[in-house]
Structure 1
Amino acid sequence: MRFQHADDIWRDFPELVPAVISVRGVSADVSVADPVATFGELAAKRLAAASEGELPEIQAWRRAFSKMGLKPTQYRCASESLLRRFRKEGSLPRLHPLIDLCNAVSIAYAIPVAVFDTSKIAQYVQVRYATGDETYLTFSGETEHPPTGEVIFADAEGNAHARRWTNRQSGYSAIRDTTTDVLIVAEALHETAQSDIESLAATLCDELSAVWPVTPRPTILSASAPEFTA
């Protein structure tokens, strides 16, 4: 299993700082209520001082979406969508312990965190511009083909595991109760992205190890070291 960003993504977004974490041995029969509550409190404190759209982490993604030709308030990055819902409802829906934990960390840091079931990925994941031939499966079971030039997470068989960069994850590789091995990806573009991504990765690894009997493998990628191999 490999993960990397295509060269032209690094060229167009040199400020990008990604973290990748490989985890084997998760399950759905655990509770993450305490850490979810803790990270929710951190997010609430930030939102009490500024709306999600005013946070530097979100503003950086809005600039990236504009650069990709997307309307930032029509297509929001994953962390902005979560923060917006959290601000309005005071909580996030409970889906799966791993997703709940990653979503909570995401809103605390205002940084998108994606999680993929590696059993559904063919050989590798590459963040790249779509050619128009890839296949994307929605959560409702419909098949879509991302247009040429859209930033997607693609594997060796042309499956698009996420669309519009951090906007929409595929239902094909989504986490289920039967999932055991996962790939977690966090990406940031703001001025302090390097230190914030390092902190997020360390925090998430600590929480994962505290909940499951796992040994997470975190890696911070860069243009000079762009590939993660599990």
Structure 2
Amino acid sequence: MQFSHSDAIWQAFPELAAGALSADGVDASADVEEAIASFSAIAGARLAEAQESEFPEIQAWRRGFSRMGLKPTQYRSASEALLRRFRQEHALPRLHPLVDLCNAVSLAFAIPVAVFDTEKIAGDLQVRHATGHETYLTFSGQSEHPEPGEVIFADDEGRAHARRWTNRQSGLSAVRETTGSVLIVAEALHAGAGEDAASLVATLADAFARHWSVTAATAALSQASPRFAFQL
């Protein structure tokens, strides 16, 4: 299986830096509460100094959404949405140990983190512009068609696993109790994005070893090295 960004995405966003991780052997029994508390504390300390909208990581994604023709206060990157909710409620809902951990890491780094159940992905997965014929399944079970030109995560069968790039994932490949193998993608556009995305992925790889006794495969993606091939 392979994950990549299309050439058109790299041309439009040359500042993009991404990290990817794949792992098998995930389950819902891990206790990650201590790690969540640690990462949440990092986010809390940053939010005590400034609101998330002032973070350079968030500002960069806002500029990116504007370049995609989206109003950035209407469609927020996943990391901004998480930080905003955390600032308001001082906690995030618990869904699954891996999802909860990734959300906490996203808070700490202010970088969007997507987690996909690879068994629900047909063939390869690519971040590309939509044709308008792809199908997207909401968490409530409704089917949508992304707008032509919209940036999506699409598999080989034309199923969109995320809409508006880092805005909203699909319910189809969401992590559930039965999930065993995952692909995780972190993407950033700010100055220093390459180092931060690599550090985030290394942090998650360490967490997999610690909480699931799993050795994860990782990759740093750039325009010069745009593809991550991994075994399921």
TM over 0.5: yes
Q: Could you say which residue in structure 1 is the equivalent of 2:155?
A: 155
Q: Could you say which residue in structure 2 is the equivalent of 1:190?
A: 190
Q: Which runs of 5 or more structure 2 residues have no equivalent in the other structure?
A: none
The 3-state SS of whatever aligns with 1:196 is helix
The 3-state SS of whatever aligns with 2:73 is coil
User: How many residues align structurally?
Assistant: 230
What letter is aligned with 2:160?
A
What letter is aligned with 1:139?
F
Q: Could you say which residue in structure 2 is the equivalent of 1:98?
A: 98
The 3-state SS of whatever aligns with 2:141 is coil
Q: Could you say which residue in structure 1 is the equivalent of 2:3?
A: 3
Distance 1:120 1:207 in 2: 23
Distance 2:227 2:197 in 1: 16
Deviation sequence 1:86-113 (CA, Å, 0-9, x none):
0000000000000000000000000000
Distance 1:98 1:164 in 2: 23
Q: Could you say which residue in structure 2 is the equivalent of 1:47?
A: 47
TM-score by length of 2: 0.98
Q: Could you say which residue in structure 1 is the equivalent of 2:136?
A: 136
Deviation of the 1:195 alpha carbon: 1.1
**Percent of pairs with identical residues:** 64
Q: How does 1:14-33 map to 2 (within 5 A)?
A: 14-33=14-33
Q: Could you say which residue in structure 1 is the equivalent of 2:212?
A: 212
Q: Could you say which residue in structure 2 is the equivalent of 1:108?
A: 108
What letter is aligned with 2:165?
W
Deviation of the 1:8 alpha carbon: 0.4
What letter is aligned with 1:175?
V
TM-score by length of 1: 0.99
Deviation sequence 1:179-210 (CA, Å, 0-9, x none):
00000000000001011111111111111210
Distance 2:162 2:194 in 1: 23
RMSD: 0.5
